A = this chain, B = another copy of it.
Amino acid sequence: VIRTDALIVGAGPVGLFQAFELGLLEINAHIVDSLPYPGGQCAELYADKPIYDIPALPRCTGRELVDRLLQQVAPFKPGLHLGQEVQQLRREADGRFAVATSAGTQFLARTVFIAGGVGSFQPRTLKLEGLDAFAGGQLRYGLDDATHFAGQHVVVVGGDEGAIDSALRLARAGAQVLLLHRRDLPDAASAAFRFIAGQATGFAQHGGRLTHLHIATADGHTLHHALDALIVCLGLSPRLGPITQWGLALERKQVVVDTTRFQTNEPGIFAVGDIVHYPGKRKLIVSGFHEATLAAFAAAALLRPDEPVLLQYTTTSPRLHELLGVNIKPIA
């Protein structure tokens, strides 16, 4: 069990800056995220796309923004627990929160910060009744090791770069590949694999094994395509997930917070960023940074009720310089 002052749910830009602001107030933090890398939507949806409205960064990509925030928070060494979703949260008798993730990591946290953005990212599924029974076996969401499929008949469903790349990797590994996407893909023309514009409408099974995929082609035919494996590459879609079960007040699927502390209706559980609702809320990163800042001050007041939480400036405070590891003058 990891004991921590603060547990941050979400390693997007606001979650990372939350850890930085807590660090300035000498509150240590661990961060959990369902994605296997930090950055949240910035990493998942616009890693290479420019953002123009981060204050004093006239232009930066999602990846650059995340790299800068990781560099900024580095002096405080937050624990990063990636590729796992926070699932259970329970308040202990002493007021601390017992938190468990899908990977079995356990925390005892004095405060919790939900910086969950649009929710945790989950692979989009192919909606065919009964198909899920094959998940993890013949049905996979995304491709790990292409060599595993050498000599097999594989159908890849999807039309984005990830889907095309998966089809190519499978073909190079010696699989017989069909790429299936609902509409024509000019970029997918390849001698390495077959492409069909159409939709999966059903499947056949025999002896507990998936044998055929039924396809309605865009030009009006029906195919029964024999296959050994089905790789679904339809991207990720966010869902709010287990935090809806934690007894927090919600409004239009957003977590309700006050604008003084950015605290939820549960004392000690704060929420910041795109996931929150308050009058005037706009889903902008610039607002998340402010929310994380005030939430950090509120948490400091909660964790250290006997001392006033003073505002110190990073430009002038020797204590903050020490914490940040900067500007230490050598002894003359």
B280 touches A259 (CB 8 A): yes
Is the pair A290, B286 in contact by a Cβ cutoff of 8 Å?
yes
Interface size on A, residues (CB 8 A): 50
Closest to A280 in B: B260
A49 lies within 8 A of chain B by Cβ: yes
Asked if A50 and B315 sit within 8 Å, CB to CB, the answer is yes
A 51-68 binary contact with B (CB < 8 Å = 1; else 0): 111111111101001001
Per the bound structure, the CA–CA distance linking A54 and B17 in Å amounts to 10
- Contact residues, A199-229 vs B (CB, 8 A): none
Known: A72-B58, A290-B286, A290-B290. A320 touches B52 (CB 8 A): yes
Contact pick for A59, options B284, B289, B326, CB 8 Å: B326
Residues of B within 8 Å of A46, CB to CB, are 315
- What mask results when residues 293 to 332 of chain A are scored 1 for a CB within 8 Å of chain B, else 0? 1100110000000000001001110001000101100000
The residues of B that contact A21 with a CB separation of less than 8 Å are 53
Contact A56–B50 (Cβ < 8 Å): no
Query: Complex Cα distance A65/B55, Å?
Result: 9
Inside 8 A of A50's CB, which chain B residues have their CB? 314-315, 326-327
A78 to chain B, nearest CB (A): 15
Q: Report A216-245 residues with CB < 8 Å from chain B CB.
A: none
Residues of B within 8 A of A71 (CB): 58
Given A259-B278, A287-B293, A289-B289, 18 additional A-B pairs, CB 8 A: A13-B55, A13-B56, A49-B316, A50-B314, A50-B326, A51-B314, A52-B72, A54-B55, A56-B57, A56-B72, A57-B57, A58-B71, A280-B294, A282-B294, A282-B297, A282-B311, A283-B311, A287-B294
Return 25 A-B CB contacts under 8 Å, by A number: A13-B55, A17-B55, A20-B55, A46-B315, A49-B315, A49-B316, A50-B314, A52-B72, A52-B314, A52-B320, A52-B326, A55-B55, A55-B69, A56-B60, A56-B69, A56-B72, A259-B279, A259-B280, A261-B280, A282-B297, A286-B289, A286-B290, A286-B293, A287-B293, A289-B289
